[in-house]
Chain A
Amino acid sequence: MNNIKTIFLCLVILMLLVSGVSYAGTYLESAHGNSTHGVNRKSTLQYATGHCAHCHEQHASIDGTEPEPNTGDAAGPDKFCLLANNFDTSAIPGAYVQDDNACFYCHYGTGTFQGTPFSNYSYSVTFGGNTDTTTATIFDAFNLTSYHNLKDVIDYAAATWTTTFTTDNNPCCTCHNTHLAKRNKANPDNPVYTAISKPSAHDELWGDDDTERMDDYPLTYQAPYYYAVTPTSYEPANNATSDGSNLPNYAAFCLDCHVNDIDGAGPLSAIDWAFEDQHGQGDATAVSSEGSLIAPYADASSGNYALSCTDCHEPHGSSNKWLLRTEVNAKSGISITTGVWYEFCTACHIVDLISGNHSSLNTGSTCNDAGCHSHGSNF
Chain B
Amino acid sequence: MKRLLIFILSIFFTITFYGQIKAKVTGLCSNCHTMHDSQGGSPMAPYGGLGTAPFQCLLRGNCLGCHGQSSTGGEYVLWGSQKVPQVYHATEGTDLAAGNFKYLGTDDNKGHNMFAIDQEDNASMFPPPGYKTDPGITATNFSCAGKYGCHGDRTVTGETTSMKGAHHADDSIIDGNTTGTSYRFLKGVLGLENNDDNPWQNASPTDHNEYKGLTSPDDSASATSPGTGGSISGFCAECHEYYHGDDLDETGGSFSPWMRHPTDISLPSSGEYTNYISYSIVAPVARVTLPDLPSGVVTPTGANDDIVMCLSCHGAHATKFYKLMRWDYANSSLSTALKGCNVCHTSKN
Determine the chain B residues whose CB is within 8 A of the CB of A35 once the complex forms: 334
Do B243 and A59 touch (CB < 8 A)?
yes
Q: Which residues of A contact B72 (CB under 8 A)?
A: none
Check: A267 CB closer than 8 A to any chain B CB: no
The residue on B at minimum CB distance from A61 is B129
A48-B331, A51-B334, A80-B257 known; A24+B125 contact, CB < 8 A: no
Interface string of A76-96 (1 = CB under 8 A from B): 111111000000000000000
Q: A52 CA to B332 CA in the complex, in Å?
A: 13
- 11 sampled A-B residue pairs with Cβ under 8 A: A23-B275, A25-B342, A25-B348, A27-B349, A46-B330, A48-B334, A51-B338, A59-B243, A64-B124, A81-B258, A179-B347
A111→B93 CA distance, assembly (Å): 44
Q: Are B347 and A81 in contact (CB under 8 A)?
A: no
> Is B260 part of the contact surface with A, judged by Cβ < 8 Å?
yes
Asked if B346 contacts A25 (CB within 8 A), the reply is: yes
Which residue in chain B gives the minimum CB-CB distance to A38?
B334
Q: Are B333 and A48 closer than 8 Å at their CB atoms?
A: yes
Which residues on the B side are within 8 Å of A78 (C-beta)?
Answer: 259
Chain A proximity of B238: nearest CB distance (Å): 16
Knowing A47-B330, A59-B130, A64-B129, the reply to whether A27 touches B322 (Cβ < 8 A) is no
Q: Is the CB of B250 within 8 A of A61?
A: no
- B259 pairs with A77, CB closer than 8 A: yes
The answer to whether A28 touches B252, judged by C-beta atoms less than 8 angstroms apart, is: no
Give the B-binding residues of A (Cβ under 8 A): 22-28, 33, 35, 38, 46-53, 57-64, 76-81, 168, 179, 203
CA distance A179 to B272 in the complex (A): 13
| Interchain nearest-CB distance for A201 vs B (Å) | 14
A62 to chain B: which residues have CB within 8 Å? 323
Closest B residue to A168 by CB, please name it.
B257
Chain B residues with Cβ below 8 Å from A28 are 334-335, 338, 348-349
Known contacts A25-B347, A63-B129; 9 additional CB pairs below 8 A are A25-B272, A27-B349, A47-B329, A47-B337, A53-B329, A57-B260, A59-B130, A64-B124, A64-B125
Distance between A84 CB and nearest chain B CB, rounded to angstroms: 12
In the A-B complex, the 3 residue pairs with the closest CB atoms: A77-B259, A25-B349, A79-B257
Task: From the candidates A27, A49, A59, name the one contacting B129 in the complex (CB within 8 A).
Answer: A59
Between A and B, how many residue pairs show CB distances below 8 Å? 90
Q: Tell me, rounded to whole Å, the shortest Cβ–Cβ distance linking A273 to chain B.
A: 32
B residues near A (Cβ < 8 Å) are 109, 124-125, 129-130, 242-243, 249-252, 257-261, 271-272, 275, 313, 322-323, 329-335, 337-338, 341-342, 346-349
- Contact across chains for A49 and B347 when beta carbons are under 8 A apart: no
Min Cβ gap A316→B in Å is: 25
| B259 CB to nearest chain A CB (Å) | 4
Query: How far, in angstroms, from A23 to B347 measured CA to CA in the complex?
Result: 7
Choice from B260, B322, B338, B349 contacting A24 with Cβ under 8 Å: B349
Q: Report the separation of the CA atoms of residues A50 and B257 in the bound assembly, to the nearest whole angstrom.
A: 22
Docked Cα-Cα span, A23 to B257, in Å, equals 24
Task: Please determine whether A50 and B129 come into contact, CB atoms closer than 8 angstroms.
Answer: no
Residues of chain A within 8 A of B342, CB atoms compared = 23, 25
Q: How far is the CA of A57 from the CA of B243 in the complex (A)?
A: 11
Asked if A58 meets B260 with Cβ closer than 8 Å, knowing A46-B330, A179-B348, the reply is: yes
Q: How far is the CB of B203 from chain A (nearest CB, A)?
A: 22
Enumerate chain B residues within 8 angstroms of A179, measured Cβ to Cβ: 347-348
Cα–Cα, bound, A33→B348 (Å): 9
Which of A26, A46, A49, A59 contacts B334 (CB under 8 A)? A49
In the complex, A60→B323 CA distance in Å?
14
Complex contacts, A64 vs chain B, CB 8 Å: 124-125, 129
Give Cα distance in the complex from A2 to B329, angstroms: 44
- Expressed in whole angstroms, the Cα–Cα distance for A140 and B112 within the complex equals 45
Within 8 Å CB of B322, what residues of A?
A: 46
Residue of A nearest to B272 (CB): A25
Once the chains bind, are B130 and A61 in contact (CB under 8 Å)?
A: yes
Give the nearest-CB partner of B240 in chain A.
Answer: A59
CB pair B337 A77 closer than 8 Å: no
A49 to chain B: which residues have CB within 8 Å? 334
Cβ 8 A contact of A77, one of B250, B323, B329: B250
For A52, give the chain B residue with the smallest CB separation. B341
Within the complex, which residue of B251, B275, B337, B347 is in contact with A27, where a contact is CB–CB below 8 Å? B347
Chain A neighbourhood of B251, CB < 8 A: 77
- B342 to chain A: closest residue by CB: A25
CB distance from B328 to the nearest CB of A (A): 10
